[in-house]
Amino acid sequence: MNQLDFEGRTAIVTGGMQGIGAAIVRRLESSGAKVAIWDLDGPDKVDVSNPSAVETAVQKTLGRFDHIDVLVNNAGIAGKNAPTVEYPIEEWERVLRINLTSQFLTCRAVAPHMVRRKYGRIVNIASIAGKEGNPNAVAYSASKAGVISLTKSLGKELAQTGVLVNCVTPAAAKTAIFDQMTEQHINYMLAKIPMGRFVTVDEVASLVCWLASEDCAFSTGGVFDISGGRATY
C-alpha cells in the first residue's frame, strides 16, 4: 500500500461503520487523518438524509476538530429490485432521499466551511449503475446518476475556491449491501465486469483517498471509474 499524507487533516465519512465506508475510514486513519463517522449505526447516530441531523453533526464535528478538510459522501442503500413499471413510489422516494438528497445536504452544510478556509476535498460515492442504468434497479441507478450531476455542478461552482469535488463509480463490491439485492441481480452485475470479479473495498478506498488528498489538485467535477473495465465512457 502506498503512503498517503493526511497528517493534521480531518475528515467526515458518511456510512463509515461498515463496507466501503469502513475501508475508507481505515485508510484515512492509517494515513494520519482524524475521522468523524456519520452513520445511523455509529455512536452519533447521524441520519444523513435528515437536514437538521446533518446541521447538528456539522456543529458537533467542528466543535471536535475545529475544521473539516475532507467530506466523503458514502452512505447509501440499494433499495428494492423490481421492474420500473412495478417500482413502489415510496421505495423510489426513500432511495432518492438516502442516496442523493443526503449528499446534497452534507455538501450544502460542509462546503461553506471549506470555502472559508480555501481548502477542501469532497468525494461522492456514485456507482457504475449511475452511468449505465441497471435493469430492475431504477431508483438506485437514477440516484447515482444524480450524484454524478451533483458532483459536476458543485465542482464547477467551487472550481476557484480550493475546494475540489469529485465522484467515483465503482462496480459491485461484496458488502452487506448485497443482502438487499436478489441473487439474479448480483449475478447480472458480476457478469458485466470484464475483469470477472468484484472490486474489493480496499481498492475503492485507495481511489477515494487519493481524491481526498492534496495530491489531487487539478481534477474537479470529475467522475472516476473503478469498474474492472465495465465503463465505456
* 140 counts as catalytic: yes
Q: Does 130 bind ligand NAD (CB under 6 A)?
A: no
| Termini Cα distance of the chain | 28
Nearer to ligand NAD, 41 or 214 (CB): 41
Tell me the sheet residues that pair with 35.
Answer: 11
Least Å distance, CB 104 to ligand NAD, is 13
Q: How far is CA 143 from CA 78, 97, 225, in A?
A: 10, 8, 17
Q: Write out the three cell numbers for 142.
A: 437514477
Q: Which of 68, 105, 158, 173 binds ligand NAD (CB under 6 A)?
A: 173
Stretch that binds ligand NAD, among 39-47, 58-66, 104-112, 155-163 (CB under 6 A): 39-47
Nearer to ligand NAD, 107 or 173 (CB): 173
Length of the chain equals: 233
Q: Does 47 bind ligand NAD (CB under 6 A)?
A: yes
Q: Which of 18, 56, 84, 200 binds ligand NAD (CB under 6 A)?
A: 18
Q: Which 108-127 positions form the footprint of ligand NAD (CB under 6 A)?
A: 125, 127
Q: Which of 115, 177, 190, 216 binds ligand NAD (CB under 6 A)?
A: 177
Q: Write out the three cell numbers for 116.
A: 472559508
Cβ-Cβ contacts under 8 Å for 98 (sequence gap 6 or more): 48, 49, 75, 76, 77
Describe the strand order of the beta sheet including 70-73 as a list of residue ranges: 34-38, 10-14, 70-73, 120-125, 163-170, 222-226
Q: Cα(39)–Cα(160) distance, rounded to whole angstroms?
A: 31
Q: Which of 11, 28, 33, 48 binds ligand NAD (CB under 6 A)?
A: 48
Nearer to ligand NAD, 21 or 221 (CB): 21
Least Å distance, CB 91 to ligand NAD, is 14
User: 84, 81, 92, 35: which is closest to 61 by C-alpha?
Assistant: 35
Stretch that binds ligand NAD, among 64-72, 108-116, 174-182, 207-215 (CB under 6 A): 174-182
Q: Which of 9, 13, 21, 72 binds ligand NAD (CB under 6 A)?
A: 21
User: 114, 105, 202: which is closest to 165 by C-alpha?
Assistant: 114
Least Å distance, CB 160 to ligand NAD, is 29
Tell me the sheet residues that pair with 224.
Answer: 168
What residues are labeled active site? 140
Kindly list the residues in this chain that would bind ligand NAD in the complex (CB under 6 A).
14-15, 17-21, 38-41, 46-49, 74-77, 98, 125, 127, 170, 172-173, 175-177
